[in-house]
Amino acid sequence: MRQLHRAARERIWLSLALVLLAATVVLLIVVAGANPLLAMKGLLEGAFGDRYAIAETVVQSVPIAIVALGVAPALRAGVFPVGSEGQLAIGAVTATATVFALKGVPAAVALPAGCIAGILGGTAWAFLPALLRARLNVNEILSTLLMNYLAANLVLWLVRTVLGTAEAIATPRSDRLPIEAIIPKLVEGTRLHWGAFAVLLGAAALAYWIRSARGLGFDVFATHRDLAARMGVRDGTAVIGTMLVAGAAAGLAGWIQVAGLQGTLYPSVAGGLGFTGVLVALLGGLRPFGIVIASFVMAILTTGSNGLQTDTGVPSSIAVVAQGLVLLGAALVFAARQRKAREAVADFEAKPAEEIR
């Protein structure tokens, strides 16, 4: 009986917290001098208003989903790399450089070459933090975060010098990629391209990994090192392997952004996608289906908030605030559910054996 009360009280607190988080967004919109209902309409129109907007929302979700699917195995194994931002930028650079070096080759060569170069670039940038974590126990959260700043500077320098366009412009960028290296469009008249299929492949790969025996061993590694070792998962393999996979996925996303969406390398190519990717992996519960849905929600926030800004003047950075609040709310719900599961187990174990039978 007492427990029932506690459960009810917890539910009330949780609902209250979620209402408060939602109210914060409404309040912020009011502070900006806009009508929250009109703002909601602006957001939805920005994300789904016409064919172009829908395609734009889908295409924005692609790199986020790829990064998230790649980080998921690491997070499942209790490793926490936050370096996707830098790895994505490096992947974009290596892909661009490769494509320019191979000028004049047909698309059948330029596309796979760019793709592989992007993956290798991202993987390479993940290598040092992975090795440091596995061999010297250097905190991977901080090392990957610091590597992001090194990547940003490296990319800026390369785009300003060797990879930079010869045109006289104020903001540094590369030349446009040759047409052979551009990923073909999936829907004419929009920016949606064939790279979107990488999300499906990634989701399938993650689904397979979760169900495999090896994947289970890596899951166990997160909480029970010794048991995982007996299942054949060694420290070094788990840490280095998952961190390199995360880097590879981010690098792939880098190639997709340059060759699929922008067609030109800008220093700002990562633009927060790496962080959003890690966030989406968490929101999606580290499962393929959840991640794809969560990446779509984040993309709605991004494209929708741009529509919101043009419609009502509410700054588009409301999207970042909303991301934080959504993550906080989802984490609260997740924690409450986990607590309930734990209590159920405790109840079960407290019962005498006959009753269970």
Partner 1 sequence: MNAAQLGFWAILLAGAVRLATPITLAALGETLVERCGIVNLGVEGMMALGAFMGVWGASQQSWAVGLILGGAAGGFLGLLMGLAVLKGGVNQIVAGIAITLLGIGLADYFFQIWQPSGRSAVVVPLVPILRLPFLDRLPLIGEALFAQSPLSYLAVVAVVAASWALRRTTPGLRLRSVGDDPEAAQLRGVDVVWVRIATLVLGGALAGFGGATITVGYLGSFSDDVTSGRGYVAIAVVIIGRWSPIGAMLGALLFAVFDSLALLAQSSSVGLPVEFFSSLPYAMTLLALVLTARAQHAPRALGRAFDG
Q: Which positions lie near partner 1, rule CB under 8 A? A: 13-14, 17, 28, 31-32, 80, 132, 136-139, 141-143, 145-150, 153-154, 156-157, 160-161, 275, 278-279, 282, 315, 317-325, 327-328, 331-332, 334-336, 338-339
Report, in Å, the least distance between residue 323 CB and partner 1: 5
The two three-digit tokens of residue 10, written as one number:
């917890």
Residue 109 or 320: the one with the smaller Cβ distance to partner 1 is 320
DSSP strand E in 20-109: where?
Answer: none
Report, in Å, the least distance between residue 261 CB and partner 1: 22
Given a contact cutoff of 8 angstroms between Cβ atoms, the answer to whether 90 and 231 are in contact is no
Report, in Å, the least distance between residue 195 CB and partner 1: 26
Q: How many CB atoms lie within 10 A of CB 347?
A: 10
Q: How many CB atoms lie within 10 A of CB 243?
A: 31
The two three-digit tokens of residue 133, written as one number:
């974590």
Q: Is the dihedral of CA 31, 35, 41, 42 positive or negative?
A: negative
Report, in Å, the least distance between residue 263 CB and partner 1: 24
Report, in Å, the least distance between residue 264 CB and partner 1: 20
Residue 22 or 332: the one with the smaller Cβ distance to partner 1 is 332
Given a contact cutoff of 8 angstroms between Cβ atoms, the answer to whether 243 and 140 are in contact is yes
* Residue 207, burial from CB neighbour count under 10 angstroms (0-12, 13-18, 19+): middle
Nearest-10 crossing angle of helices 2-31, 318-350: 180
Report, in Å, the least distance between residue 324 CB and partner 1: 3
Residue with tokens 């290798």: 120
Residue 150 or 227: the one with the smaller Cβ distance to partner 1 is 150
Report, in Å, the least distance between residue 129 CB and partner 1: 9
Given a contact cutoff of 8 angstroms between Cβ atoms, the answer to whether 316 and 306 are in contact is yes
Given a contact cutoff of 8 angstroms between Cβ atoms, the answer to whether 248 and 119 are in contact is yes
How does DSSP assign 100-120, residue by residue?
A: HHTTT--HHHHHHHHHHHHHH
Report, in Å, the least distance between residue 136 CB and partner 1: 5
Residue 198 or 280: the one with the smaller Cβ distance to partner 1 is 280
Rounded distance between C-alpha atoms, residue 312 and residue 277, angstroms: 28
Residue 115 or 318: the one with the smaller Cβ distance to partner 1 is 318
Residue 160 or 230: the one with the smaller Cβ distance to partner 1 is 160
The two three-digit tokens of residue 1, written as one number:
């009986």
Report, in Å, the least distance between residue 94 CB and partner 1: 17
Residue 137 or 212: the one with the smaller Cβ distance to partner 1 is 137
| 226 Cβ contact partners less than 8 Å away, ≥ 6 residues apart | none
Rounded distance between C-alpha atoms, residue 98 and residue 109, angstroms: 11
Residue 23 or 138: the one with the smaller Cβ distance to partner 1 is 138
Q: How many CB atoms lie within 10 A of CB 136?
A: 8
Residue 101 or 142: the one with the smaller Cβ distance to partner 1 is 142
